[in-house]
Structure 1
Amino acid sequence: MTDRRLAIAAWESLFRAQHEVMAEISKDFDEDELSGAEYDVLLTVTRCEEHRARLRDVTANMLISQPSVSRLVDRMVARGLVSKCPDPQDGRGAILRATEKGASTFRRVATVHGRTIAERMSVLTDDELSQLEQLTARLRGV
């Protein structure tokens, strides 16, 4: 049986570490160029073949509600970061595609963001990073 106090202490430590790391790496996002949420959308879209993804798949990867994702995507369309068209396989769905502007902006920000993440995580060894990834995957049920 899990020690309740230890479980709570571990949770609090994980939560505080996540909060502190996120506060630091979030500084990479200049809202005028690309917000953190826009980065998340483009991360999902650019990882897909032809830089295209279903809106529902993008929404599944986000930590915000479906209506919030829809509003965010509409703003991204207006800014020229993604295009949106009907999904031929789902009459209620949509397909998103990163525009050249969106893909190039994403690449530029991702380079800086990846460097910041690597620097912040460098306090851990490669073995510790692997263990952390495995442990958090277990917590997520993956």
Structure 2
Amino acid sequence: MIVRHLEDRIGTAYDVAAATWNSRRLLLQEDGVGFSLHDTVIQAGTETLIWYKHHVEAVYCIEGEGEIELTETGATYAIRPGMMYVLDGHERHLLRGKTDMRMICVFNPPCTGQEVHDEEGAYAAPRHN
């Protein structure tokens, strides 16, 4: 059994920040459970281009408001607490924070923990051990 507390991850190597978001990695590839789990804060007034070419991501909003826009179609969806979306088609998208948004994110394959978005908005392809 794995037991962790968010406050024990904040301010450590498991607390990864970028210009528009901060992701506290709770479960990672090293844990061997087949997915990773992240508690992520999207900053208010920001826009982030994201394209998970190599991962499927499920996102559940627990705080704040914003929107996701699919770049290929222009379709937009309001994000608010209780809203969930899954990028099961590897959709390239813009994530906008109207207010600070707190999101619970699950990735498959699991992340290693130090990923940041490249110039395309993607994480690198996972390495298989």
TM-score range, shorter chain: under 0.3
Q: With a CA cutoff of 8 Å and minimum separation of 6, indicate the structure with the bigger relative contact order.
A: 2
Higher helix share: 1
Of structures 1 and 2, the larger Rg is shown by 1
Name whichever structure is richer in strand by fraction.
Answer: 2
TM-score normalised by the chain length of structure 1: 0.25
